[in-house]
Amino acid sequence: MNAMKNALLLLCFSLVLPFPLTTSVRLTLREGSSLSVDKPDDTLTSEDSAFAAGFYPVGENAYCFAIWFSKPSCSIPNCTVVWMANRDQPVNGRSSKLSLRKNGDLVLIDADRTVVWATSTGSSSGSSMKLLQLLDTGNLVLRDEQHVISWQSFDTPTNTLLPLQNLTRNTPLVSHRSKNNFSSGYYRLYFDNDNLLRLLFSGPKITSIYWPNPWLNSWDAGRTSWNDSRVAILDPYGNFTSSDDLKFLTSDYGAKVQRRLTVDYDGDVRVYSRSEGEEWSVSWQAKSDLCTIHGTCGPNSMCTYHPREGRSCICAPGYERENPSDWTQGCKPKFNSFCDSKVETEFVELPHADFYGYDKGVFFKMFTLEMCKKLCLDLCNCLGIQYKNWNCYPKLLLLNGQYSPGVEGGIHFRLPKSNLSSYKLPRIEYAALQCPANEVLLPRTYVKRQESSAIKILLIFVGAIAGTEAIVVLTVWCFLHGTSREKGRAHIDGYHAGPTGFRRFTYDELKKATRNFSEEIGKGSGGTVHKAVLSDSRVAAVKRLLEANQGENEFLAEVSTIGNLNHMNLIDMWGYCAEGKHRLLIYEFMEHGSLAENLSSPTELDWSKRFEIAVGSARGLAYLHEECLEWVLHCDVKPHNILLDSMYQPKVADFGLSKMLKREGLKDSGFSRIRGTRGYMAPEWIYNMPITSKVDVYSYGIVLLELVTGRSPTGGLANTEGGDENESKRLTSSVRERKRTGIPMETWIKEIVDPRLTGEYDTRMVGVLVAVALQCVEEDRDARPTMRQVVEMLLRCSDEDEDEMILA
Ligand SMILES: *[C@@H]1O[C@H](CO)[C@@H](O)[C@H](O)[C@H]1NC(C)=O
Ligand SMILES: *[C@@H]1O[C@H](CO)[C@@H](O)[C@H](O)[C@H]1NC(C)=O
Ligand SMILES: *[C@@H]1O[C@H](CO)[C@@H](O)[C@H](O)[C@H]1NC(C)=O
Ligand SMILES: *[C@@H]1O[C@H](CO)[C@@H](O)[C@H](O)[C@H]1NC(C)=O
Ligand SMILES: *[C@@H]1O[C@H](CO)[C@@H](O)[C@H](O)[C@H]1NC(C)=O
Ligand SMILES: *[C@@H]1O[C@H](CO)[C@@H](O)[C@H](O)[C@H]1NC(C)=O
- DSSP letters, 6-70, are HHHHHHHHHHHTHHHHHTSPB-EEETT-EEETT-TT--EE-TTSSEEEEEEEEETTEEEEEEEE-
Sheet holding 444-448, edge to edge: 444-448, 455-462, 673-676
Statement to judge: residues 696 and 768 lie in one domain:
yes
Q: Are residues 277 and 325 in the same domain?
A: no
Mutate to test the pocket of ligand 3, among 137, 153, 166, 228 (most ligand atoms within 8 A of CB): 166
Report CA(240)–ligand 4 centroid distance (Å).
Answer: 8
Q: Which of 195, 224, 243 for a ligand 5 pocket mutation test, highest count of atoms within 8 Å of Cβ?
A: 243
Which atom of ligand 5 is nearest to 242's Cα? 5
Secondary structure (3-state) at 402 = strand
Domain count, the chain: 5
Q: Which domain holds residue 152?
A: 26-156
78 Cα–ligand 2 center, Å: 6
Q: Is residue 19 part of a domain?
A: no
Which residue of 319, 320, 332, 334 sits with most ligand 6 atoms within 8 Å of its CB, as the best mutation to test the pocket? 334
CATH number, position 719: 1.10.510.10
Residues 704 and 803 both lie in one domain: yes
Q: Is 154 in the pocket of ligand 3 (CB under 6 A)?
A: yes
- Domain annotation covers residue 659: yes
Q: How far, in Å, CA of 61 to CA of 87, rounded?
A: 14
Specify the residue with its C-alpha closest to ligand 4, atom 11: 239
Tell me which residue has its CA closest to atom 5 in ligand 5: 243
Using the mean position of ligand 5's atoms as its centre, give its distance from the Cα of residue 220 in Å.
20
216 and 298 together in one domain: no
- Determine if ligand 5 sits within 6 Å of the CB of residue 229: yes
The last residue of one of the domains, among 246, 266, 288, is 288
Is the distance from the beta carbon of residue 166 to the nearest atom of ligand 3 less than 6 Å? yes
State the burial class of residue 446 (Cβ atoms within 10 Å of its Cβ: 0-12, 13-18, 19+): exposed
Instruction: Supply the residue whose CA is at minimum distance from atom 10 of ligand 6.
Output: 419
Question: Are 713 and 659 within one domain?
Answer: yes
Q: State whether 658 and 527 are in the same domain.
A: no
What is the per-residue pLDDT for 361?
Answer: 60
Contact 184 CB / ligand 1 (< 6 Å): no
How many CB atoms are closer than 10 A to CB 591? 12
231 lines ligand 5 (CB under 6 A): yes
Q: How far is the CA of 51 from the centre of ligand 3 (A)?
A: 20
Q: Does the Cβ of 241 fall within 6 Å of ligand 5?
A: yes
Question: Is the Cβ atom of 318 under 6 angstroms away from ligand 6?
Answer: no
How many whole angstroms from 326 Cα to the centroid of ligand 1?
12
Catalytic option among 105, 264, 268, 636: 636
241 lines ligand 4 (CB under 6 A): yes
How far is ligand 4, taken at its centre, from the CA of residue 239, in Å? 6
Same domain for 396 and 332: yes
* Nearest residue by C-alpha to atom 7 in ligand 4: 241
For residue 636, indicate whether it is catalytic.
Answer: yes
Q: Is residue 15 part of a domain?
A: no
Question: What spacing in Å lies between the alpha carbon of 166 and ligand 3's midpoint?
Answer: 6
Q: Are residues 267 and 309 in the same domain?
A: no
CATH number for the domain including 558? 3.30.200.20
Closest to 65 (Cα-Cα) out of 75, 74, 56? 56
DSSP 232-263: EEE-TTSEEEETTS-EEE-TTTT---EEEEEE
Determine the atom of ligand 3 nearest the C-alpha atom of 155.
14
Ligand 2 atom nearest the C-alpha of 74 is 14
Number of other CB atoms surrounding residue 278 within 10 Å: 11
pLDDT of residue 116: 95
- Cα(192) to ligand 4 centroid in Å equals 24
Ligand 6 atom at minimum distance from 343 CA: 13
Taking CA atoms only, the protein residue closest to ligand 2 atom 2 is 78
Same domain, 148 and 164: no
Residue 7 in domain: no
Query: Is the domain of 283 the same as that of 230?
Result: yes
Could you give the CA distance from residue 497 to residue 499 in angstroms, rounded to a whole number? Answer: 7
* 152 CB within 6 A, ligand 4: no
**Does residue 95 have its Cβ closer than 6 Å to ligand 3?**
no
For 454-495, give the DSSP string.
Answer: PEEEEEEEE-----SS----S-------GGGS-HHHHHHHT-
Pairing of strands 301-306, 401-403: parallel
Looking at all shown ligands, the one closest to residue 338's CA atom is: 6
Q: How far is the CA of 80 from the centre of ligand 2 (A)?
A: 13
Residue finishing a domain among 544, 567, 589: 589
Considering the domain architecture, whether residues 697 and 736 belong to the same structural domain is answered as yes
Name the closest ligand to CA 78.
2
> d(Cα 187, Cα 189) in Å, to the nearest integer?
7
> Cα separation of 495 and 501, whole Å?
18
Residue 467 pLDDT: 27
Pocket of ligand 2 (CB under 6 A): 75, 78
Identify the residue whose C-alpha is closest to ligand 3 atom 3: 166
Q: Which of 156, 175, 207 marks a domain boundary? A: 156
- The answer to whether the CB of 215 falls within 8 A of the CB of 354 is no
Q: How far is the CA of 669 from the centre of ligand 4 (A)?
A: 39
Residue 490 domain flag: no
- Ligand closest in space to the Cα of 229: 5
pLDDT score recorded for residue 628: 43
Closest-approaching ligand to the CA atom of 88 = 1
| For ligand 4, atom 1: residue with the closest CA | 239
Residue 60 CA, closest ligand 1 atom number: 13
Counting ligand 2 atoms within 8 A of each CB, the residue from 68, 78, 79, 179 with the most, and so the one to mutate, is: 78
Q: Could you tell me the distance, in angstroms and rounded to a whole number, from the CA of residue 61 to the centre of ligand 1?
A: 13
The ligand 5 atom nearest the CA atom of 227: 1
Reduce the DSSP state of residue 185 to 3 states and report it.
strand
pLDDT at 267: 92
Report how far apart, in Å, the C-alpha atoms of 106 and of each of 30, 33, 35, 65, 88 are. 10, 10, 11, 12, 18
| Whether residues 106 and 187 fall in one domain | no
Mean pLDDT by 10 residues, the chain (808 residues): 48 42 73 92 93 94 95 89 96 94 93 94 76 96 91 96 96 92 94 94 86 82 90 94 92 85 93 86 82 87 71 87 84 89 88 77 75 90 86 88 76 89 63 23 28 27 26 28 30 33 82 92 79 88 78 69 74 85 89 89 85 93 64 79 91 71 35 61 78 87 93 62 60 81 83 88 91 92 88 77 38
Q: Does the beta carbon of 58 sit less than 6 angstroms from any atom of ligand 1? A: yes
Query: Other CB atoms closer than 10 Å to residue 193's CB: what's the count?
Result: 9
Q: Is residue 800 part of a domain?
A: yes
In a domain, 441, yes or no: no
Which ligand is nearest the CA of 423, by number? Answer: 6
Would 164 be classed as within a structural domain?
Answer: yes
User: Which CATH number covers residue 135?
Assistant: 2.90.10.10
Question: Which ligand is closest to the CA of 234, given by its number?
Answer: 4
Pocket test for ligand 1, best of 177, 178, 265 (most atoms within 8 A of CB): 177
